[in-house]
């Protein structure tokens, strides 16, 4: 394995009763107890680090961005137009920040140019996933003006999907037999691209579109208990809600776990830009809903749908857990309940960085986490490694390290 050191600390400390790095060990009576207490409260990144050789060994191929592992152990590679294409580059960049290995950054920047054409792909809402997770992170690290241009051009393209009558960005062009103007909870994740493009360009239109979309989603996507519908179908002429549907949950009124995570992350991020307390409150209510579920497993890694039948025998979704952890770390900085949200995030990350969630070293694929669930209704990518789980795990660890 490569010789790498974690950039800031060898261990990321995790405290169950206090903020990271400020643990009160006054209850320990001797050195042995203190050492045992310390070991109990750490996130060991050794297993994560050991997976990164496979990221470096995977050959650069413009047509085969690693998306997931197939059941036979091979890698499912996808072209740049796939909604997941940006996660691999973003994962490499986050891994570079954690482990300070230039080879990881170089590998990311080798892949990056093959995503550039997506800035003109107006047939999808997934511009944030593809462009911001890759070019957005690359720009933060390099301040490269060419990367900035891609971010702005991508936002201009995404803005073409905005309907002023609805006040939201259309998610999909397919499924015209099922909906007219579908908006999915996942679409909240694209708003960061728009807000950042406003800051970089001075064009406030992008931020206005993002805030409008967030407010329409806040109004229509959530049940009284603060769980989320997956799909809201609008009348594109009147802007009225026509139907509430699901595409990836068990049924319309069930609770698709990754959808809850998208909403939590999205409204936390939107609050960062708007300082609108309604957005902060929505994020808090989503978080509270998630952790009030009596069937949430002890290790904090949710089943793919929180209300699926025979729940104890359903597959988990590590990707939902990773998105949730990353969101909670940010939310903890804004909320009066921050200590509690930080503890939830720490517990999730401690589970995700250990067995059985980190892939065994012998599994030779460019992924870190096992046990994610992609699309259960289509029986696709079930209980397997998926790229976006790795991305949000690494983002959460970077955020945690940066806080401390």
Element holding 329 (H helix, E strand): helix 318-331
The one catalytic residue among 44, 61, 100, 186: 186
Decide if 191 contacts 208 (C-beta within 8 A).
Answer: no
| 137/188 Cα distance (integer angstroms) | 18
The one catalytic residue among 126, 305, 317, 390: 126
183 token code pair = 């908006």
List Cβ neighbours of 82 (8 Å cut-off, separation of 6 or more): 65, 67
196 token code pair = 């950042």
Give strand pairing partners of 68: 76, 386
Peptide bond into 134 cis (omega under 30): no
Decide if 197 contacts 184 (C-beta within 8 A).
Answer: no
85 token code pair = 């294409």
Element holding 372 (H helix, E strand): strand 372-375
| 216/220 Cα distance (integer angstroms) | 6
| 306/212 Cα distance (integer angstroms) | 29
What is the full DSSP assignment across 286-330? HHHHHHT-TTS-TTS--BSBTT-SSGGGSPB-HHHHHHHHHHHHH
258 token code pair = 């990754």
Is residue 126 among the annotated active site residues? yes
Decide if 347 contacts 331 (C-beta within 8 A).
Answer: no
| 40/32 Cα distance (integer angstroms) | 12
Element holding 396 (H helix, E strand): helix 387-403
Alpha-helical regions (H) of 100-245:
102-111, 127, 137-142, 145-159, 191-201, 204-220
Pairing of β 231-234 and β 380-384: unpaired
| 360/206 Cα distance (integer angstroms) | 43
| 2/49 Cα distance (integer angstroms) | 9
Alpha-helical regions (H) of 166-249:
191-201, 204-220
171 token code pair = 């998610």
Give me the active site residues, please: 126, 186
């Amino acid at each position: 394995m490569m010789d790498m050191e974690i950039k800031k600390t060898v261990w990321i400390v995790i405290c169950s009763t206090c903020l990271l790095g400020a643990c009160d060990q006054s209850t320990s009576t001797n050195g042995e107890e203190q050492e045992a207490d310390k070991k109990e409260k750490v996130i060991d990144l050794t297993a994560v680090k050991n997976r990164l050789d496979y990221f470096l060994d995977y050959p650069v191929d413009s047509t085969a961005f690693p998306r997931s592992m197939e059941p036979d152990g091979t890698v499912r590679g996808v072209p740049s137009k796939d909604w997941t294409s940006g996660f691999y580059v973003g994962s490499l960049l986050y891994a570079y920040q954690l482990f300070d290995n230039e080879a990881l950054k170089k590998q990311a920047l080798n892949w990056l140019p093959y995503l550039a054409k997506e800035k003109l792909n107006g047939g999808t809402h997934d511009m944030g996933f593809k462009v911001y997770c890759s070019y957005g992170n690359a720009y933060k690290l390099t301040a490269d003006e060419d990367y900035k241009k891609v971010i702005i051009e991508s936002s201009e393209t995404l803005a073409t999907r905005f309907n002023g009558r609805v006040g939201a960005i259309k998610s999909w062009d397919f499924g015209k037999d099922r909906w007219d103007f579908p908006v999915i909870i996942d679409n909240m994740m694209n708003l960061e691209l728009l807000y950042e493009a406003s800051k970089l360009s001075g064009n406030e239109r992008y931020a206005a579109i993002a805030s409008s979309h967030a407010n329409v989603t806040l109004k229509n996507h959530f049940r009284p208990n603060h769980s989320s519908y997956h799909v809201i179908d609008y009348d594109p002429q009147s802007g009225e809600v026509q139907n509430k549907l699901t595409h990836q949950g068990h049924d319309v009124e069930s609770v698709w776990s990754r959808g809850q995570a998208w909403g939590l992350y999205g409204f936390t991020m939107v609050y960062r830009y708007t300082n609108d307390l309604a957005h902060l409150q929505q994020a808090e209510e989503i978080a509270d809903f998630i952790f009030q579920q009596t069937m949430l497993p002890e290790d904090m890694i949710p089943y793919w749908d929180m209300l699926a039948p025979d729940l104890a025998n359903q597959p988990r979704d590590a990707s939902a857990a990773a998105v949730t952890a990353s969101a909670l770390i940010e939310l903890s900085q804004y909320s009066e309940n921050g200590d509690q949200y930080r503890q939830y995030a720490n517990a999730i990350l401690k589970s995700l960085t250990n067995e059985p969630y980190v892939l065994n070293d012998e599994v030779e694929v460019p992924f870190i986490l096992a046990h994610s669930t992609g699309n259960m209704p289509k029986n696709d990518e079930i209980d397997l490694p998926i790229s976006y789980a790795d991305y949000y795990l690494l983002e959460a660890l970077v955020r945690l390290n940066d806080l401390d």
